[in-house]
């Protein structure tokens, strides 16, 4: 990534419109939320289908008081709505609403518009289709059906299971732009976040941002504040360099907070996104590798997390010798020549322990886990003269890894860890999400060890750390290591020193 001056502040050539949806059962709460939405959004979506009772006159009043362009919806349950209204009820609502509200856009489902029972002002109509189950194979046919209506804007929202599901949505945006049509194409769910953040710079009429993390109205919807402050969506263009974290899951990661803060501090035209990837080969070939990707975007770098740190090596054009020796990659630099892989975990892993214990030579370490992070730790520990015993629950996998690096191996279940100077959790157990509240060891197993080091950084105080303190150990978390390795990634991507203090503050604020 070429460096740029700190005053570099590119702006999107088209204004970014953030639409904030409002959904509440009681009209008073609905009105209050609408006023709140007007403070952070450019457009307000009035989800009338959320109300227990709906009076068109009240909706008309709302469209006039929010002091923003409003979009009115009355969505059936099968398309993500909150009411059981049949087609005839929806037709009556729209025919009444269209006559009474003169200051709003109307989001009307395709099925109602095709039967010609509604005769709206077509310049105020968003013709929409929602699929909360999948990405349908007939997206082009759905778009073609919309094109048969005189609707001003087309909206297609579908559910993504993998980041590659974003590709057909981006294609629709490109098609609409070439045909002179206005469109909103969104892939819902965490794997579809790229369409929400990058969509406006590619031609989407708007993007949706919730009032806050608890009031999203669709899967994967992030807050309007995050769109503007974290992702700097108003400054994203088609030339913006795109980077991101490749893994499954990635929803717990604070990497976007840390790297986007660093890019902003350095004045770089770059944005960092979460990429939830189930099908690694499809992502590499269809979205990432410059020689085969189907998406026209400026993707320049990736962080790699579980479970892809080892598997991704099969797709790299060049691997740093240390990363090859470790057998795991957590950083990819993408150039015109292809994929270059590195491991910054190994460089950062032991610095927090050295700060506590001093020189680690001839010390004894119990390393828990046998995955990509454990590989990096084993490599670094052995280079620093540490006597390592690897503990795992999988005998075959653990013993093979230990043998590769000349370490001892034991099964974890019945192990006593008290004989070691420090114990490192290199497993994902305890990470926010499915395994949160889990620990690879018990209090009794930890009793007697001097220091317990958890490489999990989210949450910042894990069960493993709590058990270690109860066992009488000093406990440290993985946030320091995370920031250190992220700073090394930044340097690899940009060629300049990372703003480490900015990154550390962003990491801490992500938890507060």
Residues 364, 448: Cα–Cα separation, whole Å: 13
pLDDT tens readout for residues 14-38: 689 999 999 998 888 999 999 999 9
Residues 294, 80: Cα–Cα separation, whole Å: 30
Residues 240, 198: Cα–Cα separation, whole Å: 10
- Where are any strands of DSSP class E within 86-124? 104-109
Provide the b/e sequence for 290-299 (b: ≥16 CB within 10 Å). Answer: eeebebebbb
Quick check: do 18-238 and 347-477 share a fold? no
Write down the pTM of the prediction.
0.91
Q: Where are the domains of the chain?
A: 18-238, 244-342, 347-477
Could you please report the per-residue DSSP string of 426-448? Answer: -S-TT-SSTTTT--SS-HHHHTT
Tell the residue number behind the tokens 């009307």, with chain if given: 108
Omega within 30 of 0 (cis) for the link into 50:
no
**126 Cβ partners below 8 Å, 6+ apart?**
71, 105, 106, 107, 108, 151, 152, 153, 154, 155, 184
CATH class given for the domain over 347-477 = alpha beta
CATH class given for the domain over 18-238 = alpha beta
Catalytic residue chosen out of the listed positions 178, 181, 309, 351: 309
Provide the b/e sequence for 453-471 (b: ≥16 CB within 10 Å). Answer: bbbbbbbbebbbbbbbeeb
**244-342: CATH topology:** Rossmann fold (3.40.50)
Strand bridging mode 69-73 / 387-392: unpaired
Could you please report the per-residue DSSP string of 364-416? Answer: EEEEE--SHHHHHHHHHHHHTT-EEEEEES-HHHHHHHHHHTT-EEEESTT--
- The residue ranges of the chain whose pLDDT is under 70 are 1-14, 54-57, 99-102
| Separation of first and last alpha carbons in the chain | 31
Residues 61, 219: Cα–Cα separation, whole Å: 29
**67 Cβ partners below 8 Å, 6+ apart?**
38
Half-sphere exposure of 128 (CA within 13 A, CB side): 23
Query: Does the annotation mark 309 as catalytic?
Result: yes
State the pLDDT at residue 214.
79
State the pLDDT at residue 55.
64
Q: Are 42 and 71 in contact (CB under 8 A)?
A: no
State the pLDDT at residue 395.
92
Tell the residue number behind the tokens 């490489």, with chain if given: 455
């Amino acid at each position: 990534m070429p460096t740029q001056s700190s005053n570099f502040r590119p702006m999107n050539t088209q204004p970014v419109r953030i639409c904030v949806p409002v959904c509440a059962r009681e009209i008073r709460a609905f009105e209050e939320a609408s006023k709140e939405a007007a403070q952070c959004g450019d457009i307000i979506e009035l989800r009338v289908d959320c109300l227990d009772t709906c009076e068109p006159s009240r909706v008309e009043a709302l469209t006039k008081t929010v002091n923003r362009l409003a979009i009115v919806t009355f969505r059936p349950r099968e398309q993500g709505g909150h009411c059981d209204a049949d087609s005839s009820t929806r037709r009556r609502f729209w025919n009444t609403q269209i006559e009474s509200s003169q200051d709003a856009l109307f989001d009307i489902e395709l099925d109602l518009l095709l039967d010609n029972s509604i005769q709206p002002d077509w310049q105020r109509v968003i013709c929409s289709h929602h699929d909360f189950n999948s990405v349908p194979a007939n997206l082009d046919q759905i778009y073609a059906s919309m094109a048969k209506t005189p609707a001003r804007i087309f909206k297609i929202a579908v559910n993504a299971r993998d980041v590659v599901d974003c590709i057909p949505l981006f294609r629709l945006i490109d098609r609409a732009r070439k045909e002179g049509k206005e469109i909103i194409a969104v892939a819902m769910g965490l794997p579809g976040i790229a369409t929400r953040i990058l969509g406006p710079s590619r031609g989407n009429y708007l993007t949706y941002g919730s009032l806050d993390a608890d009031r999203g109205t669709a899967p994967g919807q992030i807050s309007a504040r995050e769109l503007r402050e974290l992702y700097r969506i108003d400054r994203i263009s088609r030339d913006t360099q795109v980077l991101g974290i490749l893994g499954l899951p990635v929803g717990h990661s604070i990497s976007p907070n840390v790297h986007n803060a660093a890019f902003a501090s350095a004045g770089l035209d770059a944005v960092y996104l979460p990429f939830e990837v189930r099908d690694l080969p499809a992502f590499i070939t269809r979205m990432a590798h410059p020689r085969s990707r189907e998406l026209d975007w400026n993707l320049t770098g990736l962080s790699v997390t579980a479970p892809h740190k080892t598997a991704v090596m099969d797709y790299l054009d060049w691997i740093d010798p240390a990363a090859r020796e470790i057998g795991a990659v957590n950083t990819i630099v993408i150039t015109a020549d292809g994929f270059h892989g590195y491991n910054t975990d190994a460089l950062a892993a032991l610095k927090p322990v050295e700060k506590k214990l001093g020189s680690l030579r001839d010390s004894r370490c119990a390393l828990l886990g046998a995955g990509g992070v454990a590989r990096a730790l084993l490599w670094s520990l052995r280079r620093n003269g540490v006597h390592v015993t690897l503990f795992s629950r999988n005998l075959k996998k653990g013993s093979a890894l230990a043998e590769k690096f000349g370490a001892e191996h034991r099964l974890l279940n019945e192990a006593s860890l008290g004989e070691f100077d420090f114990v490192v959790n290199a497993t994902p157990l305890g990470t926010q999400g499915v395994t949160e509240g889990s620990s690879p060891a018990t209090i009794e197993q930890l009793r007697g060890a001097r220091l317990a080091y958890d490489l999990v950084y989210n949450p910042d105080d894990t069960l493993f750390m709590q058990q270690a303190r109860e066992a009488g150990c000093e406990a440290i978390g993985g946030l320091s290591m995370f920031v250190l390795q992220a700073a090394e990634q930044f340097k690899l991507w940009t060629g300049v020193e990372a703003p480490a203090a900015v990154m550390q503050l962003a990491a801490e604020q992500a938890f507060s």
